[in-house]
């Protein structure tokens, strides 16, 4: 772990900073932060070399203030790097990750968790990339107007796009062009299959486990595991008890079982770490916070994982994926066709720029503002 950076795919500390301190870093010391699964001493003890910090906002912000909320989470991640430069270094490329690790920093990357954060807008996606976002989870626990989420498979949500819509496929192409990693955690099976067929770049599951060991729809079935392997992608194992054992209780060895299974089905090149710390309420005994990563690595070695296998899982596999994503990115102009207005129209959205049968769509902002106010009161 001192030679190869442990790069974890998903940590929700920024969400905890919002809930506890309204992102006021001046009111918290990350060296002494208690009550969370992540702080600076725990990261150091856990030998974390790289971390994707989640810029997350819940699904109930969709069609409302999702973009603003996500921007605030991106901002607090940047301010973490500015406030603690001796620990965190915000990076955006494989070369920067490697250099940061050599300098003893936690290479800090940004992942947006949920496609609702871009408000079905290509410009927002591009601006997020410019702000340092290097992956986007296509859905969280709600459909977007262009992609279906995992609750569709569970029967809790109706299918809306049957995977990706036509616009959703354009989002995938734009992410490939930008060099933004596609994250399939939280997506439906149809969405997974559509992306695996369409994407020119490898994909990731930033925080999901093996469905064969725990039949939770947030996990990855064997068939998808094999296709992710063929695509050159990775599945970064989630530590949440309900995704590890499908029960309230779990232990470190249960998590190691998921590593073993993914390795068996898809090869050691397809596995990584995606703890989901500070985004979950129950963690396995022996993996209670980020300081326990070395214990899991030791368990893999006890299970006869080779040094090559472990180094690949720690960070080598992710760096390979990210490098391929970077190679595929293009400087050609991005897509600029908007999503059809009827797919996104709601009480709180204006429609400037849209046309109806060649005639500008005339909207009355005051009327829409009143409708939005009524909507908020009723909801």
Catalytic residues: 10, 12, 113, 140, 186, 207, 276
Q: What is the DSSP string of 109-125?
A: EEEEE-GGGGTT-HHHH
Whether residue 68 contacts residue 125, with contact meaning beta carbons closer than 8 Å, is answered with: no
Phi and psi, residue 244, nearest 5°: -95, -50
Least Cα distance to 236 among 203, 281, 213, 188 occurs for: 203
Phi and psi, residue 131, nearest 5°: -85, 5
Whether residue 238 contacts residue 276, with contact meaning beta carbons closer than 8 Å, is answered with: yes
Whether residue 187 contacts residue 148, with contact meaning beta carbons closer than 8 Å, is answered with: yes
Q: What is the DSSP string of 225-266?
A: HHHHHHHT-EEEE---HHHHTSSS--BHHHHHHHHHHHHHHH
Angle ∠(274,92,56) on CA atoms, nearest 5: 50
């Amino acid at each position: 772990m001192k030679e190869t950076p442990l790069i974890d795919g998903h940590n929700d500390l920024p969400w905890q900073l919002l809930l506890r301190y309204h992102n006021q870093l001046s009111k918290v010391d990350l060296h002494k932060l208690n009550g969370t699964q992540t702080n600076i001493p725990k990261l150091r003890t856990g030998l974390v070399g790289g971390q994707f910090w989640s810029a997350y906002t819940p699904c109930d912000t969709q069609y409302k203030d999702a973009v603003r909320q996500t921007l605030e989470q991106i901002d607090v991640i940047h301010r973490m790097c500015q406030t603690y430069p001796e620990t965190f270094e915000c990076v955006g490329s494989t070369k920067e990750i490697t250099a940061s690790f050599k300098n003893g920093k936690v290479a800090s990357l940004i992942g947006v968790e949920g496609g609702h954060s871009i408000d079905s807008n290509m410009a927002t996606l591009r601006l997020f990339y410019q702000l340092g976002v290097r992956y986007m989870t296509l859905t969280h626990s709600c459909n977007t107007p262009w992609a279906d989420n995992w609750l569709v498979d569970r029967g809790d949500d109706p299918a809306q796009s049957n995977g990706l819509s036509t616009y959703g496929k354009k989002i995938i192409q734009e992410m490939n062009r930008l060099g933004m990693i596609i994250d399939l955690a939280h997506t439906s099976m149809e969405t997974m299959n559509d992306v695996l067929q369409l994407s020119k770049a490898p994909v990731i599951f930033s925080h999901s486990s093996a469905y064969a060991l725990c039949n939770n729809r947030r996990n990855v079935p064997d068939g998808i595991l094999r296709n992710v392997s063929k695509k050159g992608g990775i599945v970064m194992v989630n530590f949440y008890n309900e995704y590890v054992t499908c029960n309230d209780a779990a232990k470190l060895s249960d998590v190691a079982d998921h590593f073993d299974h993914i390795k068996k089905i898809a090869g050691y090149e397809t596995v990584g770490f995606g703890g989901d710390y500070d985004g979950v309420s129950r963690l396995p005994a022996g993996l209670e916070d980020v300081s326990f990563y070395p214990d899991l690595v030791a368990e893999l070695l006890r299970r006869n994982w080779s040094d090559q296998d472990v180094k690949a899982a720690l960070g080598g596999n992710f760096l390979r994926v990210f490098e391929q994503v970077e190679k595929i990115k293009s400087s050609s102009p991005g897509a600029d066709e908007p999503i059809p207005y009827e797919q996104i129209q709601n009480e709180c959205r204006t429609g400037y720029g849209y046309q109806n049968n060649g005639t500008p769509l005339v909207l009355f902002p005051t009327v829409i503002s009143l409708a939005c106010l009524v909507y908020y009161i009723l909801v």
